[in-house]
Amino acid sequence: MPHNIVLRLTSYAALVVAALLFVAPLLFMFAGSLKPDDQVLLEAGSWRAFLPDTIAWQNYLDVFARVRFGRYLMNSLFITSMIVAAGLIVNSLAGYAFARLQWTGRDILFAGVLTIMIVPLEAIAVPLFYQVTLFGWRDTYIVQILPFLANAFSIYLFYTFFIGLPRELEEAARIDGASVLRTFVSVIVPNSKPVFATVAILTFLMQWGAFLWPLMVTSGEAVRPLPLAVSTFHSLPPLQWGDIFAFGVMMVSPVLIVFLLFQRWFVRGVVATGIKG
Amino acid sequence: MLADHQRLTGLLLAAPALLGLLVFVAIPFLLALTLAFTNLRLGSPLPVEFVGFDQFRRIFSDPAFLRALVNNTVFALLVVPLQTALALALALLLQQRLKGRVLFRTLFFMPVVFPLSLIAVIWILIYAPGPNGMMNHFLTTISFGAWLPRDFLHDPYLALPAIMLTSIWQGTGFQMLILLAGLQTIPDELYEAARIDGAGRMATFLHVTLPQLRNTLIFVVLVTTILAFRLFDQVQIMTHGGPRNATTTVMFEAVQAAFGRQQVAIGAAMSVVLFVVVLVITLLQQHVARHEREIS
């Protein structure tokens, strides 16, 4: 028994130390966003870095005065929600067609989807950049949305979920004479909430942080999303760390709120990426 | 009748997604393979022509690109084992049914939901030069003054390790969660059997936990290795590849070529190299996983 208590205490000690290390940079940002700009760097080397003396909202006001934060936020919200919503429709339909319908070319096309799954965005970013330049799509919303709607991994996740659903679900609807699409909407979708939630969260997480692609295809601030805006804001003189951290806090708050509210689904989503293995 | 009807419906339902994958993944991919063998430059008056392996010869004699390949490899060789070991340790700690484990899991996972670009910006300040910098102060304190303040991101020897540390801090939670899920699929009977056989903690870990977790570990290692070769955001924001190419990566060089210098063909050739690396890693992982399955 005493051996067990020692083990527990060591485990707790290790967890607490690890947790402090993991949380410190985030606390640093939250505390810094509430401090006068010059104090952020000055106090970075002491425990005061994680604790504001006073609560000052000035940095937040400064962000709005210096850049069009609202615009970036709307851009990010619009681009991400379009990709999530349209992506759910397009990829779930494809996943359903591959999992449950008989059609010519299905198996070979599905093999194609599985092959495409290993191509990372980075490997095609350059030719895609050239392609959309030819289309005349640079500096638009469409160039940040359209290429990311169809997603091989999302199709795969839908496929594996749908293939596990009992056949009886559809048969009853078919006997009533419902069309394939109607059966999908009224019978399959209501029984597949977990996979829709998983795909939605994974897509949201990926797209909310998208940096490389917007960097390549946007030059003006009109359609620029937050991840790109925070890096340009950081290099916008004068260097004021309080403002930068306030920008960061506002930028991450939507994700953090969604994460804390739907944590169970985040966990499932991440675990789903591990199913492949 | 119904079968005929279904035949068309299936294709129609899949069509939008298939079209998207064709136009925005398959065609660009084929385009990369084609452009890499041309001399295409945006805005160049020269006619576009087929130049064979010239671009590949060029990039493989370009010191910056070779340095990028080395940097990505070093990054993978150090970050993958360190991050996996740390993630496994945290997963094992959380696996014990301690109170507050959900809170700890939340805290470890939190950096994963932060956009990488924001994390890069926060860590620029953490690595601030001078004794007041957070990392400098931390290292001085835990080394009882032996550490002398350095300018991490402008130091040719420290810049890449600094980016590695940031990446480990950001990515560990993701791995930990997948490993935790893997740990939970190990049947209790196996632990029970080990206990009856009188196996100690270490023996149980080596002979029950590790073999059972093997496929999850292989998967996690694969994903992290591929991520190491895709490295871009942190480099672009924290060091811009410097100092003197100390932190440049394949993707950073590709973007510099295609986007910065308009040399689309060279960028495409670099993309092809990146894809070949990813492909080799994937095939290797599948080979190892299959091999393991045959043994067990």
Question: Band of the pLDDT at A277, cuts 50, 70, 90?
Answer: very low
Nearest Cα of chain B lies from the Cα of A192 at a distance, in angstroms, of: 17
The model's pLDDT over B215-235, given as tens digits with 9 standing for 90+, comes to 889 989 998 999 999 999 999
- Contact of B171 with chain A, judged by CB distance below 8 Å, is answered with no
What value does the mean pLDDT of chain B take? 90
DSSP-derived 3-state class of residue A57: coil
What's the mean pLDDT in A33-56? 81
B234 found inside a domain: yes
Lowest mean pLDDT among A183-192, A262-271, B155-164, B280-289: A262-271
Q: What is the pLDDT, as a whole number, of residue A255?
A: 87
Q: What is the pLDDT, as a whole number, of residue A56?
A: 81
What's the mean pLDDT in A251-270? 83
Nearest-CA residue of chain B relative to A206?
A: B115
Question: Which residues of chain B have a CB within 8 Å of the CB of A274?
Answer: 178, 181-182, 216, 219-220
Give the single-character DSSP code of A146: G
| Number of domains present in the structure of chain B | 1
Q: What is the pLDDT, as a whole number, of residue A98?
A: 95
What's the mean pLDDT in A219-224? 88
ipTM of the shown complex: 0.91
CA-CA distance, B98 to A212, in Å (whole number)? 40
| Highest mean predicted confidence (pLDDT) among A19-28, A36-45, A128-137, B80-89 | B80-89
Please say if the pLDDT value at position B9 is more than 70: yes
Tell me if B11 and A103 make a contact (CB, 8 A cut-off): yes
Please say if the pLDDT value at position B3 is more than 70: no
The model's pLDDT over A134-178, given as tens digits with 9 standing for 90+, comes to 898 989 999 999 999 999 999 999 999 999 888 888 888 878 888
| Touching A: B residues 17-46, CB under 8 Å | 17-21, 24-29, 31-32, 35, 40, 42
Label residues B65-89 b or e (16+ Cβ within 10 Å = b). bebbbebbeebbeebbeebbebbbe
CA nearest B130: which of A212, A248, A44, A89? A44
The model's pLDDT over A110-141, given as tens digits with 9 standing for 90+, comes to 999 999 998 999 999 999 999 998 898 989 99
**Exposed, middle or buried, A230 (CB in 10 Å: 0-12/13-18/19+)?**
buried
With the C-alpha atoms ordered B10, B16, B21, B26, is the resulting torsion angle positive or negative?
Answer: positive
CA-CA distance, B80 to B168, in Å (whole number)? 9
Give the distance from CA A144 to its chain's centroid. Answer: 14
Q: What is the pLDDT, as a whole number, of residue B30?
A: 94
Q: What is the pLDDT, as a whole number, of residue B1?
A: 44
Tell me if B125 and A91 make a contact (CB, 8 A cut-off): no
B54 found inside a domain: no
- Give CATH superfamily name and number for A67-236: MetI-like (1.10.3720.10)
B11 found inside a domain: no
Show the domain range for B224: 63-295
The model's pLDDT over B117-176, given as tens digits with 9 standing for 90+, comes to 999 999 999 999 988 889 999 999 899 988 889 999 999 999 999 999 999 999 999 999
Instruction: Tell whether omega for the bond before B243 is within 30 degrees of 0, i.e. cis.
Output: yes
What's the mean pLDDT in B23-36? 94
Residue B281: what are its φ and ψ, rounded to 5°? -60, -45
Give the distance from CA A198 to its chain's centroid. Answer: 11
Tokens 């966003």, residue located: A33
What's the mean pLDDT in B166-195? 90
Q: What is the pLDDT, as a whole number, of residue A269?
A: 72
Tell me if A26 and B137 make a contact (CB, 8 A cut-off): no
pLDDT higher at B81 or A275: B81
Q: Where does chain A hold its CATH 1.10.3720.10 domain(s)?
A: 67-236
CATH of the domain at B134: 1.10.3720.10
- Contact of B93 with chain A, judged by CB distance below 8 Å, is answered with yes
Nearest Cα of chain B lies from the Cα of A182 at a distance, in angstroms, of: 12
Please say if the pLDDT value at position A1 is more than 50: no
